[in-house]
Amino acid sequence: MAEQEPKKEKNEREQTLMDHLIELRDRLLRMVLAILIVFVALFAFSEDIFTIAAKPLLALMPEGTSMIATGVTSPFLVPFKLVLLLSVLLTIPYLLHQMWAFIAPGLYRHEKRMATPLLISSVILFYCGIAFAYFVIFPILFGFFIGIAPEGVAVMTDIGQYLDFIIAIFLAFGIAFEVPVATFLVIAAGVTTVDKLADKRPYIIIGAFFIGMLLTPPDVISQSLLAIPIWLLFELGLIASRLFLKKKVKEEVIMENDEFTLVEEKSADFAGDIPPDDHDEEGNSLSEDEMEKLFDEAEAEEEENNQDDDVEDSSSTDESDKKS
């Protein structure tokens, strides 16, 4: 019987693991299916989508020039790749929802309360980074590159190289716009504090301009267009962290006050049920003679109880002797 119980527990653990794996498989299939549905819906407009993606460059190219395809399969594969990536980008909220639905049951309530706004803000900030790159950075970037082309050189960009370039820029700016979330997580995890990060503000600003130098043309205006938003996003992360910590401290104070009040109420109830030694049950004070009388009665009652216990022990001993 004892051997069957461990086997039963082992089977239950294996069954639970299988249930989790089945759920994970189902959610992955839903994610893939969602991407395929969006892909099929968008593929008919693949040429228009690529035209929109290439618009920042096409608008700045000299007259009589155009983009080219140097590969045999590029006219098909490049729009195909772009539509597939766009499908993943558009389904990010649903993909995160499926991942969250799988992970959430294993989290505590306070972890769920923290994770939900973080996920939503992460998606919004990522989209904002992509939009900022498309509408602000691309016109400046492509205008600079086309403007420095040597005289007599026709700018005809390969569509495959162009797609790889804009994807890299989109990812860079999308990740760069996650600065508030990263700042909040570092502070919430206790790695550092708001004041310490605020003291390092000059280094953050220098780092933002360094990133701007790497991702934008080498002029102050272009670098500032990226560095200033990163710095402002860092400040936004500090503000969110301060608000979170204030709310957390307030909740802890309320919980401590509630616990203290509960202990006081229990202590008051306990004190009300048991009167002090020098008072009777009604709370009236006792004289010395009355207290001595109570002690004598208590001792007499205790001796009587001890005698009764001795009688019971002796009777049980006699019965056992008779049986033997």
For the segment 202-227, what is each residue's pLDDT rounded down to a tens digit? 999 998 888 878 877 677 777 788 88
Q: Would you state the pLDDT for residue 94?
A: 95
Tens-place pLDDT, residues 98-107? 998 888 888 8
Q: Would you state the pLDDT for residue 123?
A: 94
Confidence bin at 265 (pLDDT 50/70/90): low
Residues of the chain with pLDDT > 90, as a percent, come to: 35
Q: Would you state the pLDDT for residue 275?
A: 47
Tens-place pLDDT, residues 90-133? 999 999 999 988 888 888 887 788 888 889 999 999 999 999 99
CB atoms within 10 A of CB 23: 13
DSSP 85-103: HHHHHHTHHHHHHHHHHHH
Q: Which residue has the higher pLDDT, 80 or 221?
A: 80
- What span, in angstroms and rounded, lies between the C-alpha atoms of 176 and 210? 12
Q: Would you state the pLDDT for residue 255?
A: 66
Tens-place pLDDT, residues 131-155? 999 999 899 889 888 888 887 788 8
- 18, 26, 31, 92, 148 from 23: Cα distances, Å: 9, 5, 12, 19, 55
Q: Which residue has the higher pLDDT, 90 or 275?
A: 90
CB atoms within 10 A of CB 242: 14
Q: Would you state the pLDDT for residue 246?
A: 82
**CB 90, CB 40: distance < 8 Å:** no
Q: Is the pLDDT of residue 49 over 80?
A: yes
Q: Which residue has the higher pLDDT, 175 or 249?
A: 175
> What is the SS3 assignment for 185?
helix
Tens-place pLDDT, residues 247-258? 777 766 666 665
Q: Would you state the pLDDT for residue 274?
A: 45
Reference 184, options 119, 105, 127, 273; nearest CA is 119
